[in-house]
Amino acid sequence: MKRIVKWVGIFFALVILVVVSLPFLINVDQFRPTLQSDLSSALGREVTLGNLRLRILTGEVTADDLSVAEDPAFGKPAFLRAKSLHVGVEIWPFLFSRKLIVTDLMIDQPEIALVQSHSGDWNFSGLGAKSKTAAAVPPSTRTPLDLSVKLVKISNGRLTLRRTVGHWKPIALEQVNIELRDFSSSSVMPFSLSAQVSGGGTLKLDGKAGPINPKDSAMTPVSVSLKATQLDLVRSGMNDVAPDISGLVSFDGRGESDGVTMHLQGKLKADQLKLAKNGTPSARPVEADFSVQHDLRKHSGVVHQGDLHIGSAVAHLTGTYAEVGESVVLNFKLSGPGMPVQELEALLPSLGIVLPAGTSLKGGSASASFSMEGPADRLVATGSLSLNDTRLVGFDLPKKMASIEKLAGIKASPDTEIQVLSANVRSAPEGMSAQDMKLVVPAIGELSGAGTVSPANTLDFKMSAIVHTSGLLAVVGNTPIPFTVGGTCSEPVFRPDIGAVVKGEIKSLQGDVGKAAGGLLNGLLGGKKKN
């Protein structure tokens, strides 16, 4: 029995000795030219590897570093650089027949640059094409290589996406982890990707790609589910086309691409959204159900569905966008009928719309219909806006119009009831204008006019009021009382134009001008009209 144990011990000792010695006895680096050549042939780019070492126990061949050459049309820096490459191999075929069968590739801490030219071509478009480097090693001296890769894995990488023209900021992804299974140029391959977005946010993709387009790998069909969380539009560089818009965007959707057009649909949520240069981040999130058809080369597309949700308020956005030079030109339609006013109030600051200080809106509904056209950073919106049956809490309009109150005997009120507020509105980078404005306030009457609001929220309106109470109307009848609105949105200043009242009244009289003027002045000074 002791003899058996002794021989078993000797046997295992010899096995261990062989396993430990094999890496020193077998010069695996002799396969480096073969591996470089076959990888170069498969990728259509020159591939350079560092010294190869064999790890028997793990069935790996490791290389000190890895470099994949860039497409010459995009410059000389490498397309991919990595600190190390781990090549999984089948050990027994290698030991007994010196056949290197590659089962998986693991690339550690690579730096990958994805670059798109003005024509729409990518620097990886030519991957997979035949390369001159494939013939670098004569066939007679090459050891057979079976490149049947079950798993390609990239760990802790850095991926940069940029353009060769224009002012577009690069988008950088950190801590990139990619898995590609059952690699084959002629079949569909499952893949996954996770990454941190430099500047804020995370990305996660799961899907299938393939077969690889032999003429342009960038046109390979893809089916993917995409989830993004808290992407910072400004710091990440993802919103270079409209720098005034900021916020944290999350979305969950699916996409299908034939290599030319991507159809993307899903749900989007924007927190701390700011839509105007003079706006402030909204405290209320905006959500959207969207469906987009996007041209991958032209960077243009069609928004078939854009249902915007602000609480229970719903608006519909549809239209087109297209990259023109260094701008993205938009042509959108926005329709929002019967939206609850209070749901929209929290969004007003993000649009640069300021209510009078210390006030709020309560109750009622709002309707909007707008066309939005032009470059995304200089967008012009025109359309109609109306509010119905709402109340401006904390704003005493009769008191603000004190001079008119004294003339017409309007009673003060802590809030302003608004029956109707409607206008044709134009919003542009130089400010906002309102035409055909109509405001029906039961406590006063009907106010109408037009004016502008500057980017600094300075008001310049010329208005008139037909008062529904007694007082001045006893003198001037239904004659409108003209007034101006100046100051700012937070502190509006109302100034009635008495001179215009006098001038208009005198002009309208056919009889004794002096008598009419005297009666008018008597009424203005508080006197009683004689019977």
Higher pLDDT, 343 or 77: 343
pLDDT number for residue 36 = 84
pLDDT score of 135:
44
Amino acid of residue 86: H
Q: Which amino acid is at 500?
A: A
Give me the chain's average pLDDT, please. Answer: 82
Report the distance separating Cα 223 and Cα 264, nearest Å.
10
d(CA 414, CA 393): 7
The token duo for 338 is 């019967």
pLDDT at 58 (0 to 100): 56
User: Are 93 and 67 spatial neighbours (Cβ–Cβ below 8 Å)?
Assistant: no
Per-residue confidence (pLDDT) for residue 90, from 0 to 100: 67
Q: What is the pLDDT of residue 277?
A: 87
Residue 371 vs residues 262, 333, 352, 374: alpha-carbon distances, Å? 26, 5, 18, 10
Residue 109 reports pLDDT greater than 80: yes
Cβ atoms of 207 and 180 within 8 Å: the answer is no
Q: What count of Cα atoms within 13 Å lies in the side-chain half-sphere of residue 263? A: 5
**Neighbouring C-beta atoms of residue 49, cutoff 10 Å:** 21
Tell me how far CA of residue 485 lies from CA of 32, 359, 402, in angstroms: 81, 18, 13
SS3 string, 149-195, reads EEEEEEEEEEEEEEECCCCCCCEEEEEEEEEEECCCCCCCEEEEEEE
Higher pLDDT, 368 or 184: 368
Mean pLDDT, residues 234-260 taken together: 91
Amino acid at 40: S
Q: Please check whether residue 48 is in contact with residue 36, taking contact to mean a CB–CB distance below 8 angstroms.
A: yes
Q: In the prediction, which pLDDT does 3 show?
A: 55
Average the pLDDT over each of 87-96, 422-431, 466-475 and give the range with the smallest value: 466-475
For residue 326, what is the DSSP state?
Answer: T
User: What is the spatial distance between Cα 266 and Cα 319, in angstroms, rounded to a whole number?
Assistant: 17
Q: Is 356 left (phi over 0), alpha (psi -120 to 50) or beta?
A: beta
Take residue 316 and report the two structure tokens written for it: 């519909």
Which candidate, 482, 484, 470, places its Cα nearest to that of 523?
470
H or E stretch covering 290: strand 286-295
- CA 151/CA 102 separation, integer angstroms: 10
Give Cβ neighbours of residue 384 (< 8 Å, ≥ 6 apart): 367, 368, 369, 370, 422, 423, 424, 425
Cα angle vertex 391, ends 389, 397, to 5°? 120
Count Cβ atoms within 10 A of the Cβ of residue 245 and give its class: 0-12 exposed, 13-18 middle, 19 or more buried. buried
* pLDDT reported for residue 209: 93
Q: What is the pLDDT of residues 110-139, one digit of tens each?
A: 999 999 988 888 998 888 665 444 444 444
Predicted confidence (pLDDT) per residue in 14-50, tens digit: 444 344 444 444 556 777 887 788 778 877 889 998 8
For 397, 478, 485, the CA distances from 497, given in Å and listed in that order, are 17, 16, 11
Instruction: Between 245 and 93, name the one with better pLDDT.
Output: 245
Q: In the chain, what percentage of residues exceed pLDDT 90?
A: 49
Q: What is the pLDDT of residue 13?
A: 42
Least trusted range by pLDDT, from 14-18, 408-412, 491-495, 515-519: 14-18
Least confident of 93-107, 190-204, 441-455: 93-107
- Terminal Cα distance for the chain, rounded: 141
Structure confidence at residue 513 (pLDDT): 45
- Reading the block at residue 227, the tokens are 């989830």
Q: Tally DSSP H helices, then E strands, for the chain.
A: 9, 28
215 pLDDT above the threshold of 50: yes
Q: What is the pTM of this model?
A: 0.80
- The predicted-structure confidence for 453-505, as pLDDT tens digits, reads as follows 999 999 999 999 887 755 444 444 467 888 999 999 999 999 876 655 556 55
Tell me, rounded to whole angstroms, the distance of Cα 6 from its chain centroid. Answer: 72
Q: What is residue 26's predicted lDDT score, i.e. its pLDDT?
A: 52
User: What confidence score (pLDDT) does residue 16 get?
Assistant: 40
Q: What is the 3-state secondary structure (H, E, C) of 428-445?
A: ECCEEEEEEEEEEECCCE
Q: Give the number of other Cβ atoms within 10 Å of residue 531's Cβ.
A: 3
The DSSP code sequence of 205-264 is: EEEEE-SPPSS-GGG--EEEEEEEEEEETTTTSTTTT-TT-EEEEEEEEEEEE-SSEEEE
| Domain locations in the chain as residue ranges | 26-215, 397-531
* Predicted local confidence at residue 155, as pLDDT: 94
Tokens at residue 315, please? 């608006």
Strand, coil or helix: 451: strand
pLDDT at 137: 43
> Residue 1 carries which side chain, given as an amino acid letter?
M
pLDDT at 23: 45
pLDDT at 8: 45
The pLDDT confidence band at residue 369, using thresholds 50, 70 and 90, is very high
Q: Per-residue pLDDT for 247 more than 80?
A: yes
Looking at the chain, the whole-number percentage of residues with pLDDT higher than 70 is: 76
Structure tokens at 331: 């042509």
Alpha carbon distance 110, 94 (integer Å): 28
The number of beta carbons lying within 10 Å of the beta carbon of residue 474 is 12
- Please tell me the predicted confidence (pLDDT) of residue 448: 94
Taking the CA atoms of residue 173, residue 174, residue 175 and residue 178 in that order, the dihedral angle to the nearest 10 degrees is 20
Measuring CA to CA, how many Å separate 405 from each of 282, 305, 525?
36, 49, 14
